[in-house]
C-alpha cells in the first residue's frame, strides 16, 4: 500500500515497529500533491521544510525516544488557522499577503506532538460557503469526482485527506464547515463541543459558533487528533474542560450496546435525496444490530434553525470583519481620504459572498432592526438548544444525514445563495446549540459518498466517537 493511503493509526504503528519512516510517509504525500494538487487545488501552499522535519522525527525515533502517536504524521491546516511564518489569508484577497506572527493554540499543541504540517488548505473566503467555490485561490475539486464540489468551507481540508495529500487535517466549523465537506468527500470530520478546543489563532467568522475540528479517514484517527488539540486555554476565555484521552474508546473493540440513538422526525421529510436517506437508515439499522436502541425524538424548532443561523452568523461576521480596513494588515488599496481607503480596500478585498453577509449582518444589527431580527434570533437560538436538551433526556446520540444531497456539479448552485444555504440544513443546529457532531461515511449514491451525522450531548465526545467507530466497523 502507498503510505499516503494509510490511516493515522496504521502509519503510527508501522513507524513504531520501524517498518515505515516519517520521511517515506511525507515523501509519499508530497508525491501525491505534485501529481494531483494542480487540478484538485486542495492546498494553496506546500511546506518547504516537511522532509527535513520528517528526518528529524526519524532521528529521534532511531535514538530510542518514545514519541507521541502523531509524531511524523503529515497534516493539512486550513488557511484561517495561524501557523507562524506562513500566510494566513482565510481564502480572501484582503489577507492574501498576511503572514501569521504566531501559532494558533491548536498548532502549538500539534507541534508538541511532532505532527508535520504539509500545507495550507484552500477554503471558502472567510469560511463563508458550502462548496469551496468562493475561494480567492480558485475552486477546489472533489477527489472522488473532479467535476463536483468538495463541500465547504473546509473543502480543501477534506479534499486533502481524501486525495492522500495528508493523513489528517484541521478545519473550522461554523455551521457545518467540517462535517459537510467530510460527507461529500467520503472522509470523517468532527465539530467538537463549543469550548472543547481553543479558538485562539483562528481568524473569526462568527465567534459564538466557530469551532476548530479535525478531519481524517476514520473516526479513530479523528479521536487521535482531538486528544492532541482539546483542553482549556487561558488565551481563549470560551475554552473549557480538562484534557481527556479517547484512546480507550478506539484501542478496544467499540460497543454500542445499550446506547440510545435518537432519530429526529423533523430531519426526515420531503426534499431529502432518497438515496441519502436509504444509506443513513441502513447505517442506523446496522448500529441497532450491534445493540443500540433506536428511539424517535422531536426537535420542533428545527424549521427555524436556518433563519436563526443566517441572522446570528452574519451579525457576528459583520462585527469580526470590520477589523479588515486596510490600516493594520492585509490589503490596502489606498485613497485620498481615510473613508476612501476603507471603501476601496473593502470593495476590492472582499468577495461577493463576504459582502453579502457583511451587509446582511450590519442591517440586522442596525437601529430599528436589532430587536426585530437579531434579538429575536437569539431567543429562538436558546429554544433550539433547549430542544436538544430535552431530546437527550431520552437518547444518548442523535442520528441524521450530514447533507441532504451528495456532491453537486461545480457551478450548479453557485449563483443561487438560498439553494446553497439549504445544503447546511442538517448541520447548523449543532453549532447553534454548541453540541458536538461528527460525520462518518455510511455508503454511496451513484458512486458519490454519503455521510451519517451523529450529534451528542455537550462534552460527551467519548460516546459520539464510540458510536462512530462502531459504525465504521459494521
The residue ranking higher by pLDDT, 136 or 251, is: 136
User: CB under 8 Å to 374, separation ≥6 — which residues?
Assistant: 311, 312, 315, 364, 365
- pLDDT above 90 (res 250): no
- pLDDT above 80 (res 370): yes
- Sign of the four-CA dihedral 199, 202, 208, 210: negative
Q: 145-164 pLDDT, tens per residue?
A: 999 999 999 999 999 999 99
Task: Report the catalytic residues.
Answer: 78, 153, 177
User: CB under 8 Å to 56, separation ≥6 — which residues?
Assistant: none
Q: How confident is the model over 215-236, as a mean pLDDT? A: 96
Q: 162-196 pLDDT, tens per residue?
A: 999 999 999 999 999 999 999 999 999 999 999 99
Q: What is residue 71's predicted lDDT score, i.e. its pLDDT?
A: 98
Q: 324-352 pLDDT, tens per residue?
A: 988 888 888 888 888 888 889 899 999 99
Q: 430-471 pLDDT, tens per residue?
A: 999 999 999 999 999 999 999 999 999 999 999 999 999 999
Mean confidence (pLDDT) of the chain: 94
Judge contact between 201 and 82, C-beta under 8 A: yes
CA-CA distances (angstroms) from residue 42 to 30, 185, 226, 464? 13, 12, 22, 28
Report the alpha-carbon angle 325-331-332, nearest 5.
65
Can you tell me whether residue 78 is helix, strand or coil? Answer: strand
Q: 26-70 pLDDT, tens per residue?
A: 999 999 999 999 999 999 999 999 999 999 999 999 999 999 999
Distance CA 43, CA 189 (A): 18
Q: What is residue 241's predicted lDDT score, i.e. its pLDDT?
A: 73
Q: What is residue 456's predicted lDDT score, i.e. its pLDDT?
A: 98
- pLDDT above 80 (res 243): no
Ranges for all domains in the chain classified under CATH 3.90.1300.10: 3-253+438-447+456-472
CATH topology of domain 3-253+438-447+456-472: Amidase signature (AS) enzymes (3.90.1300)
**For the ranges 6-20, 262-276, 368-382, which has the lowest average pLDDT?**
262-276
In this structure, the chain runs to a length of 474
Q: 259-304 pLDDT, tens per residue?
A: 999 999 999 877 788 999 999 999 999 999 999 999 999 999 999 9
CA-CA distances (angstroms) from residue 35 to 30, 39, 163, 292? 9, 9, 10, 44
Amino acid at each position: 500500500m502507498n503510505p499516503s493511503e494509510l490511516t493515522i493509526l496504521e502509519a503510527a504503528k508501522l513507524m513504531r515497529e520501524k517498518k515505515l519512516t516519517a520521511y517515506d510517509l511525507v515523501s509519499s504525500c508530497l508525491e501525491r500533491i505534485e501529481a494531483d494538487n494542480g487540478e484538485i487545488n486542495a492546498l494553496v501552499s506546500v511546506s518547504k521544510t516537511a522532509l527535513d522535519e520528517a528526518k528529524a522525527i526519524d532521528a529521534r525515533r532511531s535514538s530510542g525516544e518514545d514519541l507521541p502517536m502523531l509524531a511524523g504524521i503529515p497534516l493539512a491546516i486550513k488557511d484561517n488557522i495561524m501557523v507562524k511564518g506562513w500566510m494566513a489569508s482565510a481564502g480572501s484577497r484582503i489577507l492574501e499577503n498576511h503572514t501569521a506572527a504566531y501559532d494558533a493554540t491548536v498548532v502549538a499543541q500539534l507541534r508538541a506532538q511532532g505532527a508535520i504540517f504539509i500545507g495550507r488548505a484552500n477554503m471558502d473566503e472567510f469560511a463563508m460557503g458550502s462548496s469551496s467555490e468562493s475561494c480567492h485561490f480558485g475552486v477546489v475539486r472533489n477527489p472522488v469526482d473532479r467535476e463536483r464540489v468538495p463541500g465547504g468551507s473546509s473543502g480543501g481540508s477534506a479534499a486533502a485527506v481524501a486525495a492522500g495529500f495528508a493523513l489528517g487535517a484541521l478545519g473550522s466549523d461554523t455551521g457545518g464547515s467540517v462535517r459537510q465537506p467530510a460527507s461529500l468527500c467520503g472522509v470523517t470530520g468532527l465539530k467538537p463541543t463549543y469550548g472543547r478546543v481553543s479558538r485562539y489563532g483562528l481568524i473569526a467568522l462568527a465567534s459564538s459558533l466557530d469551532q476548530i475540528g479535525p478531519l481524517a479517514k476514520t473516526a479513530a484517527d479523528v479521536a487521535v487528533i482531538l486528544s492532541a488539540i482539546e483542553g482549556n486555554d487561558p488565551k481563549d476565555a470560551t475554552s473549557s474542560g480538562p484534557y481527556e484521552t479517547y484512546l480507550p474508546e478506539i484501542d478496544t473493540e467499540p460497543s454500542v450496546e445499550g446506547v440510545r440513538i435518537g432519530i429526529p422526525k423533523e430531519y426526515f421529510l420531503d426534499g431529502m435525496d432518497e438515496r441519502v436517506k436509504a444509506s443513513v437508515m441502513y447505517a442506523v439499522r446496522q448500529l441497532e444490530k450491534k445493540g443500540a436502541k433506536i428511539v424517535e425524538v422531536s426537535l420542533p424548532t428545527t424549521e427555524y434553525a436556518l433563519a436563526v443561523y443566517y441572522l446570528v452568523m452574519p451579525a457576528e461576521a459583520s462585527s469580526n470583519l470590520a477589523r479588515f480596513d486596510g490600516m493594520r494588515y492585509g490589503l490596502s488599496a489606498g485613497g485620498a481620504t481615510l473613508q476612501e481607503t476603507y471603501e476601496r480596500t473593502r470593495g476590492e478585498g472582499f468577495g461577493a459572498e463576504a459582502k453579502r453577509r457583511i451587509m446582511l449582518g450590519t442591517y440586522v444589527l442596525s437601529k430599528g432592526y436589532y430587536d426585530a431580527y437579531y434579538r429575536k434570533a437569539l431567543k429562538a437560538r436558546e429554544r433550539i438548544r433547549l430542544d436538544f436538551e430535552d431530546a437527550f433526556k431520552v437518547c444518548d446520540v442523535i442520528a441524521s444525514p450530514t447533507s441532504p444531497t451528495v456532491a453537486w456539479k461545480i457551478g450548479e448552485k453557485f449563483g443561487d445563495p438560498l439553494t446553497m444555504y439549504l445544503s447546511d440544513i442538517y448541520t447548523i443546529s449543532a453549532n447553534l446549540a454548541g453540541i458536538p457532531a461528527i460525520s462518518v461515511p455510511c455508503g454511496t449514491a451513484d458512486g458519490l459518498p454519503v455521510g451519517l451525522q451523529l450529534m451528542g450531548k455537550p462534552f460527551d465526545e467519548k460516546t459520539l466517537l464510540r458510536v462512530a467507530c462502531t459504525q465504521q466497523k459494521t
